[in-house]
Every structure is written in structure tokens, then in C-alpha cells.
Chain A
């Protein structure tokens, strides 16, 4: 199970005054079971990039291969691709439409051609795995809080049993607790199901805590691709393009410059604490 992007470029409004290269020559390989963070500020091309993963946008040039097959082949089943590569959009308000939460989650499975019963079973399972209380299943999704709407939206994609789950800014607009809950949930799903998860975010601090691999996008190109520790070594370059590394990264670098024997590659509060305490021991 892998997704390969080969020299993918995408141009908006080609041939007009508003022509803009959203993606420039992207080469990328996503492996089975990875937990990946894609970081970049608004307009860096990260949303455009993930919409290529499930064929919502067709590349202006270059090829995309899912499990070795070219998704731009004429007889390639795009709908099947979309059930394999599940994409949850940024705002749940853009997809919730049914009168009950349960029916809304059934929408994907029914589009897959499953029977009502099978779809129902899928919906139950998906709603349970995102931690929705059962008493809410038959309520309107529009009355839920922001965090719960987000869970229903994720369940709506999970119910299609994708092999790969992509989430576009799943924490936008949530408060800190809501944000942590959603991120913990995603991390748990990655662990339990061994699903490939791609998390798109503009927050370095959020992502560093969870992912194993980080892809930094800037101006339509991949700027860095590596573990959070490796990526944050370039904290000065990141800052130059308007992406700040986590505060602890800065702190650790400053401490090291001042002569403390600490590990400047620490990216989370826990790692930093360990390293500082070790220095003082």
C-alpha cells in the first residue's frame, strides 16, 4: 500500500492573468502505516496537494500512483480510490447535511453501494471509534459543538473503511482541549488500525507532538521532509518563510549556545524537560 507522486505540478487558472503555480514538481512517496504531518502556511499549496491524493484535482502535469496503478488511467475507478484514500475537509459544516448524525455517517458507505444494513453497521462502528456517545446518534448534527461536529465528519469518512486517512486542519477553530481531544483520537486510530494518517496543519507545535514524519510545504514546493527533530534543526530557515518552530526548539538552541549541555533537537515539552534535567544532574 503506497501512494507515489511523480513530478506533480498544478497550475490555477492557466493562461489567464491570475495564473498561479500551486504545486511545482512534487515528488513524494507515502508508505503504508506512516503518520505524516504536512505543514505550511495558507497558500503554501498543502490543501491543493492533498486534494491530488484522492483525485479531486487532476495534476496539470506529472503522475500519481496508488498501489502501483496510475490513477489517471482512463478506466481507473476514482470512486474506489476515494474510499481507499479518505479525505476529511477542514470544516465539518461543509459536509454535514442529513437530519441525523447516524444517517449522515451512512452517506459514504451507501455511495459505495453497500446495503442499508451494512452501511448502518459501518456507521455504528465509525461513530463508536470517534467516541460519540450513543444517545446522540439520532440527533441533528447541526446542534453539536464544534469538536463533536468534527468527530461526526471524521466518522463519515472512516465509515468507508479507507486505508489512508487525510485530515485537512482538523483542529481549526477548536479550543485547546477540543484540539487535544481530536489529535489524541487521530493518534489512537493510527496506532490501533495501523492506518496511514496524513495530518495537515499550520501549527508546528501540534504536529510535532504526534507525527513521525513531517513534510514542510512552502510556495508550492516541498521545503523539508523528515522527522520533526530533523526538520526543526532548520528553525532559522523555517522562520524566514513565516513558519515558527515550537518554542522549546528555540529555547534549547539558546541554552546550548549559552553553554548548557542540552539536546537541541528536542521538539516537545517532555523531551526538553528530560534533556534539561539531565544537564542539571
Chain B
């Protein structure tokens, strides 16, 4: 069974003036269908304002469907009595690392979620230790979050979600405010969780490089899913990606341009090794 299943999901932001008359309606999610299998690593790509953050908030039942349905771990998000359980099974990590850390000590912040769901004290300690270890932050357990780097703060936030033992974590642009080192740290941590703990990951981002390691990619534009497929399939359509205001990794772009210029390199090249290999081979066969 799918862990996340959206069926023609619609969300509209309605803006009203002071008298309560509707001023404008903005469709943030326009009939979205989504199937996510347990244990998979899914990426959702889209530029700012494409509706991807709205989608994330639906999965955590912070928003509820206007039309259509969304099931998380078999529970209907529009049914208020499931809200609490949905948030337990689908944890969420947000963009700004500062605005999601509640406590002034790392370990206490990680313990915040388990405290909320009523985990007994002894077990909170084991969970906190376990989840800090899983993101490589155990050493910083008694530090103040204020003195950590952006990447470290985000890893603490991830640990905070992991301590609630969710089946799935949704990360809403977790790297947008980080430098390249921080970005790498966070991505490595997320991939490790997916592989070692089997947690389903839904990574929302506008950085194409972060999508390369995903099992499946959805591309969103104007509230719709406009492309879906494996990273290779997605990256083979360079022109289409550019149309949706998305970037293509340098290597993929270079391969695409070389192909257009007449060299027979294959479509959807993702890594440097692939391109080097193909070019060396081509060069050899030319001689």
C-alpha cells in the first residue's frame, strides 16, 4: 500500500478584503495525483511559487484538501481525528533552520516531539540518543543551537523529527538557506536515513543536483505535476526543464549541448563519470 496517496488534490488560497468579499483566488495545488511507496526516496522539484510547499503542508495535515483526497499511511488527512496520528507518521522539516528549533539545548529540542506524543522519559532518552547518532550530531547534544552551523541546525531538526519514529519525512527545501557544505551534510544525512532506517523521504527542492540520487522525481509548475519519472528520464528533457524555470546540472547541460552540436553522447547524463567515460570512448573510436 502507498504511504502517501493523493487523488486529484486541490488547494486554493482565497484572499478576502475587509468586508469578507473574495478578492482573489490562487490555485496552489491543481488536481495533484501522487503515489509514494514505503521506503522510497521521492523528490519534488519546482521553482518558488510552484505549489510544492503547499503540497508538503498537506502531507503533514497542516493544510487540508479543498477538493480531492489525500491519504497518509492509510489515514484521510481531511478527517480531523487523524491529524495527530498523521503528524506522527509523516514528520516535517522546514526551510529556515532557526525557526523550527524550539529548545535552547540540542538534545532537549530533539526530545520535544517525543514529549508531545507522550513517550515515557526513559524511552525519550534512548530515542534522542539514537536519532542524534543517526544524523551524526550526538557529539553536540548539550550545545546551544545558536552556535551551530546551518547544516548542523538542519540535522538537529531532522533528528527532532526522527525521534518521533515517523514512517515518512517530508523536507520542504531544507537546503535553500545553506552553503554548499551544509547542503551536502543534510543530503548525506537524509540519504543515510532512507537507506539504513528505511524511512520514506519526500524531498522538496529547487536544486537539481539534489535530485540525482532520488528513486523518482515529480516536477511541479503552477500547482500541477508537469513531469514525472526517474532522474535520468527527467534530466534527458533539458529544454522542458528550462521552460519550468529549473536549472540543469552543469554536466547534464554540457552533455546536452554536445549532443546538440553533433556528438553522439547519450541522453540524461547525470554524473561526471558517465560523461568522461562516454567522451573517452568516443574519442578512442574516432582515432
Q: Which residues of A contact B (CB under 8 A)?
A: 41-43, 145-147, 172-178, 202-203, 205, 242-244, 246-248, 250-251, 254-255, 258-260, 269, 272-273, 276-277, 279-280
Interface segment, one of B5-13, B65-73, B124-132, B254-262? B254-262
* Cβ proximity bits B171-204 to A, threshold 8 Å, 1 near / 0 not: 0000011011110000000000000000000000
A242 and B181 in contact, given A273-B261, A276-B258, A280-B283 (Cβ under 8 angstroms): yes
Interface segment, one of B56-64, B80-88, B135-143, B242-250? B242-250
A261 to chain B: closest residue by CB: B283
From B176, B182, B251, contact of A248 by CB (8 A): B251
Q: Which residues of B contact A146 (CB under 8 A)?
A: 48
B31 at the interface (CB under 8 A from A): no
Report whether B257 and A269 are in contact in the complex, using a CB–CB cutoff of 8 Å. yes
Interface segment, one of B109-117, B227-235, B272-280? B272-280
Closest 5 CB pairs of A and B: A176-B247, A177-B245, A175-B47, A202-B179, A247-B250
Bound: A147/B261 CA distance, A = 34
Bound: A64/B21 CA distance, A = 59
From B150, B182, B272, contact of A247 by CB (8 A): B272
B104 at the interface (CB under 8 A from A): no
A177 to chain B: closest residue by CB: B245
* Cβ proximity bits B10-53 to A, threshold 8 Å, 1 near / 0 not: 00000000000000000000000000000000000001110000
B282 at the interface (CB under 8 A from A): yes
Report whether B276 and A248 are in contact in the complex, using a CB–CB cutoff of 8 Å. no
Q: How many of chain B's residues touch chain A, expressed as a range?
A: 20 to 34
Bound: A144/B249 CA distance, A = 28
Majority secondary structure, B binding face:
helix
From A172, A175, A176, A254, contact of B272 by CB (8 A): A254
Q: Which residues of B contact A (CB under 8 A)?
A: 47-49, 149-150, 176-177, 179-182, 206, 208, 245-247, 249-251, 253-254, 257-258, 261, 263, 272, 275-276, 279-280, 282-283, 286
Q: Which residues of A contact B254 (CB under 8 A)?
A: 248, 251, 269, 272-273, 276
Report whether A145 and B49 are in contact in the complex, using a CB–CB cutoff of 8 Å. yes
Q: Which residues of B contact A279 (CB under 8 A)?
A: 283
Report whether B275 and A251 are in contact in the complex, using a CB–CB cutoff of 8 Å. yes
Q: Which residues of B contact A203 (CB under 8 A)?
A: 180
Report whether B258 and A273 are in contact in the complex, using a CB–CB cutoff of 8 Å. yes
Would you give the shortest CB distance from B258 to chain A, in whole angstroms?
6
Q: Which residues of A contact B251 (CB under 8 A)?
A: 247-248, 251
Would you give the shortest CB distance from A246 to chain B, in whole angstroms?
6
